[in-house]
């Protein structure tokens, strides 16, 4: 019997053969598409013309038609290392043989600690306590619960309100959609959490169109938080949650000075600041986290996606030491926080996370993203003047091209661009009438150029 993981270094050719075999086997008949209810998808449209990915490597996917597709969105803002990074693949293979699962309540396994130590080494100063989840949505709901409980354990149980922002995306849990500000994600579901308020979003076409990086206009919008505090009284407010750069809403870059101002107001009123770094974490802005990029100190950050480079589902909340310490005051045998998941710190996720963090470091990928950002910026802004384009914006390796909506049919134009790019072997994302580009940190200049030139070509052909 081979020792655990001994055979994991499958020769490249063998791996390629296995992938070819797989892609040959997955042609599904139309009736075989019936049982799956797909998330955030037009199920009927998709099932009438499926787009089926069967393998991946580096910057590319292959679909079941044998088409090679340049991935312009790192899977879905998550595969920051590119796909099937050998280090991550090998770590998962090896670990699967050794320890499939360990209960995370009152028990542990060493990889949970090793990954937490590594994460805390790259998080902002003071943020050293890592709580594992399995997704961004769970990270957000966990952070909101920690914020509420933090005030309660300190004897400030009246702080029960949570403040989000219009156009914020914080996943799909009840907490996340309550503080989130995407109308479509909320309105189907009736009752949301009470005691939630929203700050205005920060994007303004007239004042900010075609801003390179952070817009100069808009820091004053942070003062709206003061108005909300005045309305409800600080003694009722637990936390403010924002994405450093709003991702899902279409790359809304914070105005210069805006996040700093939010921090000041939160500090002044004893309100916790949660930065949702599910997208901005792990190098997307050319630094480990948005907090570092903007030099703004949060009390809690939420993570997922790039933590394992998308290879195994995993999320985390990283809390400031002071937040954690507030919970450590009762009798030592008492459970301090009644919260957690069956799969918190799953061995496969931890090993993938450790390998991903090593690869980011060894390949200096955060620095690489920072070096690549000016080329990306120029490429995104080269679409100014293309048909239908009303704005281009960017920060780090996040870029968006906003289109004028088609008369009477919002979102249709962008979706057509998405389909036509896919036919040309390029994967982009659209949200409303906004095209998002957010490639893996390994992207080459020529690949950025191809992404953008494909969008430009397609725009000429779309009404």
In the complex, the residues that contact ligand PXG under the rule CB under 6 A are 76-77, 135-137, 140, 169-171, 243, 247-248, 276, 278-279, 304, 429, 431
Strand partners, 237: 161
Q: Smallest gap, in angstroms, from Cβ of residue 9 to ligand PXG?
A: 31
**DSSP string of 265-296?**
HHHHHT-EEEEE-TTTTTTTTSSS-HHHHHT-
Q: Smallest gap, in angstroms, from Cβ of residue 348 to ligand PXG?
A: 16
Output 244 or 326, the one with its CB closest to ligand PXG. 244
Query: 208 is written with which tokens?
Result: 């900010």
Query: 399 is written with which tokens?
Result: 């870029």
Output 94 or 403, the one with its CB closest to ligand PXG. 403
Q: Smallest gap, in angstroms, from Cβ of residue 142 to ligand PXG?
A: 11
Nearest-CB residue for ligand PXG? 136
| DSSP reduced 3-state for 38 | coil
Output 64 or 243, the one with its CB closest to ligand PXG. 243
What is the distance in angstroms between the CA of the first residue and the CA of the last residue of the chain? 62
b/e for 136-151, b at 16 or more Cβ within 10 A?
Answer: bbbbbbbbbebbbbbb
Output 73 or 355, the one with its CB closest to ligand PXG. 73
Output 57 or 277, the one with its CB closest to ligand PXG. 277
Q: Running DSSP on this structure, what letter comes out for residue 165?
A: E
Q: Smallest gap, in angstroms, from Cβ of residue 276 to ligand PXG?
A: 4
Output 78 or 116, the one with its CB closest to ligand PXG. 78
**DSSP string of 302-345?**
EE-GGGTTTSS--EEEEEEHHHHHHHTTS-TTS-S-----TTTT
- State which H helix or E strand residue 434 sits in: strand 434-437
Output 94 or 279, the one with its CB closest to ligand PXG. 279
Q: Smallest gap, in angstroms, from Cβ of residue 336 to ligand PXG?
A: 25
Query: 441 is written with which tokens?
Result: 């940190």
Q: Smallest gap, in angstroms, from Cβ of residue 410 to ligand PXG?
A: 17
Output 124 or 281, the one with its CB closest to ligand PXG. 281
Output 76 or 99, the one with its CB closest to ligand PXG. 76
- Residue 120: which of 296, 286, 346, 353 has the closest Cα? 353
Parallel, antiparallel, or unpaired for β 127-133 and 315-320? antiparallel
Which pairs from 402-406 meet CB under 8 Å and 24+ separation?
402/250, 402/433, 402/434, 402/435, 403/433, 403/434, 403/435, 403/459, 404/433, 405/432, 405/433, 406/463
What is the rounded distance in angstroms from the CA atom of residue 126 to the CA atom of residue 218?
29
Q: Smallest gap, in angstroms, from Cβ of residue 164 to ligand PXG?
A: 11
Q: Smallest gap, in angstroms, from Cβ of residue 156 to ligand PXG?
A: 26
Output 366 or 418, the one with its CB closest to ligand PXG. 418
| DSSP reduced 3-state for 17 | helix
Q: How far is CA 230 from CA 19, 138, 155, in A?
A: 59, 30, 22
Q: Smallest gap, in angstroms, from Cβ of residue 385 to ligand PXG?
A: 26
Q: Smallest gap, in angstroms, from Cβ of residue 369 to ligand PXG?
A: 17
Output 23 or 134, the one with its CB closest to ligand PXG. 134
CB distance 124 to 291 below 8 Å: yes
Q: Smallest gap, in angstroms, from Cβ of residue 95 to ligand PXG?
A: 21
Query: 34 is written with which tokens?
Result: 């019936």
């Amino acid at each position: 019997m081979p020792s655990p993981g001994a055979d994991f270094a499958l020769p490249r050719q063998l791996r390629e053969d296995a992938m070819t075999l797989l892609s040959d086997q997955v042609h599904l008949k139309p009736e075989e598409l019936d049982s799956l209810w797909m998330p955030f998808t037009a199920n009927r449209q998709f099932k009438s013309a499926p787009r089926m990915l069967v393998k991946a490597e580096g910057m590319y996917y292959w679909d079941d038609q044998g088409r090679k597709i340049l991935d312009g969105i790192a899977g879905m803002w998550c595969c920051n290392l590119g796909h099937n990074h050998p280090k991550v693949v090998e770590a998962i293979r090896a670990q699967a043989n050794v320890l499939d699962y360990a209960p995370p309540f009152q028990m542990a396994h060493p990889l949970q600690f090793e990954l937490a130590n590594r994460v805390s080494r790259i998080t902002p100063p003071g943020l050293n306590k890592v709580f594992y989840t399995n997704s961004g949505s769970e990270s957000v709901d966990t952070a909101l619960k920690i914020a509420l409980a933090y005030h309660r354990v300190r004897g400030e149980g009246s702080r029960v309100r949570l403040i989000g922002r219009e156009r914020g995306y914080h996943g799909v849990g009840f907490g996340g959609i309550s503080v989130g500000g995407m109308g479509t994600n909320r309105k189907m579901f009736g009752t949301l959490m009470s005691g939630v308020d929203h700050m205005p979003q920060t994007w303004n076409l007239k004042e900010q169109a075609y801003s390179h990086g952070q817009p100069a206009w808009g820091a004053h919008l942070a003062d709206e938080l003061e108005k909300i505090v005045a309305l409800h009284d600080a003694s009722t407010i637990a936390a403010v949650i924002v994405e450093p750069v709003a991702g899902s809403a279409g790359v809304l870059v914070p105005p210069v000075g805006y996040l700093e101002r939010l921090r000041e107001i939160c500090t002044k009123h004893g309100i916790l600041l949660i930065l949702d770094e599910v997208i901005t974490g792990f190098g997307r802005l050319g630094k480990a986290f948005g907090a570092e990029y903007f030099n703004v100190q949060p009390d809690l950050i939420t993570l997922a996606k790039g933590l394992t480079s998308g290879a195994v589902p995993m999320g985390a909340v990283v809390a400031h030491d002071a937040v954690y310490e507030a919970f450590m005051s009762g009798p030592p045998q008492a459970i301090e926080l009644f919260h957690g998941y069956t799969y918190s710190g799953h061995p496969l996720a931890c090993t993938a996370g450790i390998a991903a963090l090593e690869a980011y470091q060894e390949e200096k990928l955060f620095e690489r993203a920072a070096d690549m950002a000016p080329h990306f910026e120029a490429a995104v802004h080269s679409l100014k003047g293309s048909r239908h384009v009303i704005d281009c914006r960017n920060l780090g390796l996040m870029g968006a091209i906003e289109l004028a909506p088609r008369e009477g049919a919002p979102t249709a134009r962008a979706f057509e661009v998405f389909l036509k790019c896919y036919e040309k072997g390029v994967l982009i994302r659209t949200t409303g009438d906004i095209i998002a580009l957010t490639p893996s940190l390994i992207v080459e200049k020529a690949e950025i150029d191809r992404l953008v030139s494909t969008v430009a070509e397609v725009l000429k052909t779309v009404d």
